[in-house]
A = this chain, B = another copy of it.
């Protein structure tokens, strides 16, 4: 959007938020819900109808707790704040963004108060629950704390390792038009349906669309970044295949809708990492790479390609982070937003607290706020309670993949010869087909037999990285 459009866009967003809020909180919706809930034939235990009613009730109760004025102000302020954040980031000028951050923190504290803090919980929980049903700061902390200890230790060991994979493949310039057709071929091979979706290019990769038959995603290219393009595309394709796998018959109802951000992220991470950074994938991929790019790549062995996709190096930017350091970026944000929403951290002190954690967890001195606390768009969009879903998704991805391997013997051998369909089918059955029928926690237990834990992830990560770094 050009700068001139900012103010009116804010008003448009506020107007849309108001109309949307009026429609979702209409008394008629409440009356219809009550009538359904009173009808035993609808509410029959375990039925699809009952699940739909339960989820519509959940949305309705949340929406009716929020006053229209707050909904509309949040929409307007976050629309304008995004633009001011972009300016502040470009200039690395935290002071410019600070007044907007203060307003957004206060509006989100108000929002949490309206939604109601759960018994024994805290304000942050009320916000997180809108992205991830059932998510609380306490439950996140219980998973994150041991994970952090193990990750910090692992990363330190990798940093000190005497040998490690070569980065040479990642320095190879490859024409962008060939990269474009290559990642499209991979996307099709893993199961994204181009009859019901598109892939385009944009500055920041994303996946959107309006229903399972119209999924739009983007990726990004630069000449020496094939692995970035490939990883981003497989990531977005993971999101896209989840959307495509939601049941067509349930379009427009909760059962036709993704259940949570963490489950969504589990799908993207699974295809990006468990599949796309695995040795079997590269066995399949190498001949295609050579037939596509010819002599510029044919000197790389499968092992070299596999290694180049798994280099660990701590950096400042979350979206450029490797698999191992990524979660530490997320933890920093979770801890800080929890303090902001809890009122224990003054927004003005954000840079100091941010930089201190980057030093402690990643061993890095943040040089400026552009590469520090101004790097992410989320808070400027008014989204607090969102960040942990990235790491929860990563943990779900490892636990789901481990369960799929258990259920499907020879799964990874199949990847080496291009058989990705069994995995997609397993995900369709265990995750996609259910929409919002089960909560994220139930979905996890049904598919894997256990509640979410960081063990499968740590096992996967250490099992892969230690050998690559000769540990």
B251 near A213: Cβ-Cβ < 8 Å: no
Contacts of A2 in B (CB 8 A): 194-198, 213-215
- For chain A, the bracket of interface size reads 20 to 34
CB within 8 Å of B: which of A206-254?
210-211, 213-215, 251
Q: Is the CB of B251 within 8 A of A4?
A: no
Q: What 4 A-B pairs are tightest by C-beta distance, nearest first?
A: A5-B214, A4-B196, A4-B213, A4-B195
Query: Is A16's CB within 8 Å of the partner chain B?
Result: no
Further contacts, 5 of them, CB under 8 A, given A2-B198, A4-B213: A2-B197, A2-B214, A4-B196, A4-B197, A7-B213
A8 within 8 A of B: yes
- CB closest chain-B residue, reference A9: B214
Residue of B nearest to A212 (CB): B4
A5-B212 Cα distance, complex, nearest whole Å? 9
- Counting every copy of the chain, the complex holds 2
Point out the residues of chain B lying under 8 angstroms from A3, CB to CB. 195-196
Within 8 A of B (CB), among A386-432: none
Quick one: which of B8, B195, B196 contacts A213, CB cutoff 8 A? Answer: B8
The answer to whether B5 touches A196, judged by C-beta atoms less than 8 angstroms apart, is yes
A251, B8: Cβ atoms under 8 Å?
yes
A1 contacts the other chain (CB 8 A):
yes
Q: In the bound complex, how far is the Cα of B2 from the Cα of A211, in angstroms?
A: 12
Chain A residues numbered 1-22 whose CB sits less than 8 Å from any CB in chain B:
1-5, 7-9, 12
Which B residue's beta carbon lies closest to that of A214?
Answer: B5
Q: Determine the chain B residues whose CB is within 8 A of the CB of A194 once the complex forms.
A: 2
Residue of A3, A8, A193, A210 ringed by the most chain B CB atoms within 10 A? A8
Shortest CB–CB separation between residue A223 and chain B, in angstroms?
A: 13
A243 to chain B, nearest CB (A): 12
Knowing A2-B196, A196-B2, the reply to whether A211 touches B8 (Cβ < 8 A) is yes
Residue of B nearest to A12 (CB): B210
Q: What are the residues of chain B within 8 A of A8 when measuring CB–CB?
A: 210-211, 213-214, 251
Contacts of A196 in B (CB 8 A): 2-5
What residues of B have a CB within 8 angstroms of the CB of A214 in the complex?
Answer: 1-2, 4-5, 8-9
* Residue among A7, A196, A251 with the highest chain B CB neighbour number at 10 A: A196
In the bound assembly, the distance between CA atoms of A310 and B7 in angstroms comes to 43
* A258 CB to nearest B CB, Å: 17
A244 to B, closest residue via Cβ: B4
